[in-house]
Each structure stands twice: as structure tokens, then as C-alpha cells.
Amino acid sequence: MTTQELPFIRVVREGPVAVITIDRQDKLNALNRQVLNNLASTFDALAHDDAPVRAAVLTGAGEKAFVAGADIGEMSTLTVEQAREFASLGHRILASIEALPFPVIAAVNGFALGGGCELALACDFIFAADNAKFSQPEVNLGVIPGFGGTQRLARRVGLGRARELIYTGDMITADEAVRIGLANRVVPKAELLNVARETAAKIATKAPLAVSAGKRAMLRGYDQDLSSANALEIVEFAGLFGSTDQTEGMMAFVEKRKAQFTGA
């Protein structure tokens, strides 16, 4: 096990699994420019690590919040141009999380509000502690979500439910988040991180090139028409037949043994 730290980010490597913790507890892990830049540096380093990451867990430090939103104190004085730059920074970083070659599980332990909800939505899926709360409350501040919430939320839960949440700014529970498809499951708070780590570890035993290809196909094909999206799938499927992992996986099946994948 290895640990790396930036001012507001802590990374623990457990073999092929990385656990990333946002740690700015005095501000409920709110996202300011420094936290966002720390996240960008962290994910970039993990994507290019000599010891490949095969799955990651993203969570927040403390008992109260995953991420309670963007830093309102910092945002309150922004000009129009500065606001555009800040939103663009958030969009770039969240898009880079979606584009990672490995899955990221959001382990939401408390409040995931505004930018925190948007950050969770950029992850592959969400496990929520039983005390988790989700909201896009930006209309209460005179603005709208600025890190992709108007787009990712609608794609995750459907346009009607996203409109209701964004127009009202209402907060929902973990159970409601699962009911509408925002989160995958509710986990007792004390078990959240272990469940997320166990799921990441399970993913890490699968063929990493295949997991990456599945992630790419779903991300790139989701907004396309079915015919175009299926064409993407064909390309990704066929390309894996040039990998040693495909040979190993199919031979292991035929030989009735556990496959040993190398990511090649």
C-alpha cells in the first residue's frame, strides 16, 4: 500500500486500485480552483502511472460531505469572464475523469451538492452512504449548474426528473437517488468505503483492455443514434482480438481455469 498527498487530495494505492480522498473538511470539501487543479494532477498521474490503475474510488474526507459544492466564497466575486473560465476548468476536469482508461466509483459519504453532485455524475457509477444527500441547488444562488449538471443529470435520470431537481433545487436522499437512477445502491455509512473498494478490486481482476473498451464504447456511443453507436461497439469488440488478454481469457475459459490478465 502506498500513499500520496497533495494539499487537498490524498491517494492510497492498494495494488491496482486507487482510493482518492478530497480532504478540505473545514469547507466540507468544497471545490475551489486549487482543489480542482489537485484533482486534475491526481488523475493525470494515475492515468500515466508505471504501475497501472485498473479501478479507482473517489470519496470525501470526514463524516459530513463527499463534496458540498463549489466554493461559493470564491465564486461570489467572479466576473462573467472569470465565471466562464471557472466553469470551463470544471468541465475539463470532469470530462477527463470520464475519459480515464479505468472506471471511477464515487463513494458518496454525506452531502453531494452542486459541484459535488456533478463530480459524482462524472464518475462511472455512484455508491451512496445511507446518510447521503444529493442536490443541484444552484437556482437558490441565482445561477445554474456550471460543471455539466444540466447535461449529465438528464442523461443519468431522464430529462423530466433532471428538470424537477434543477428547477426546484430540492435535496434528495440516498434512497431516492437510487430510485431515480442517480445512484446505484445505498450502503450503510460504516461500510461504504469497503464496499466501494471491494467492487473496484473485483473490476481490477477483469481484463483491463476490455473494461476500458466498454467504458469508451458506452461514453462515446450514448448520445449517438443506435446504428452509429453499434458501429463503435463493433470497432472496440474487434480490436480486442489483437490482445493477449483476449487469447488468455478465452483459453482460460476453455481450460476451465482463472484467467491471468496483464493488460496487453
252 three-state secondary structure: helix
- Give every CB contact of residue 92 below 8 A, 6+ residues apart in sequence: 40
- Give every CB contact of residue 195 below 8 A, 6+ residues apart in sequence: 107, 127, 187
Q: By C-alpha distance, which of 145, 93, 142, 144 is closest to 122?
A: 93
The residues that are catalytic are 118, 138
Q: By C-alpha distance, which of 8, 115, 122, 120 is closest to 70?
A: 115
**Grid cell digits, residue 58:** 473517489
For residue 108, give the H/E element and its range: strand 104-108
Burial grade of 38 (CB within 10 A; 0-12, 13-18, 19 or more): buried
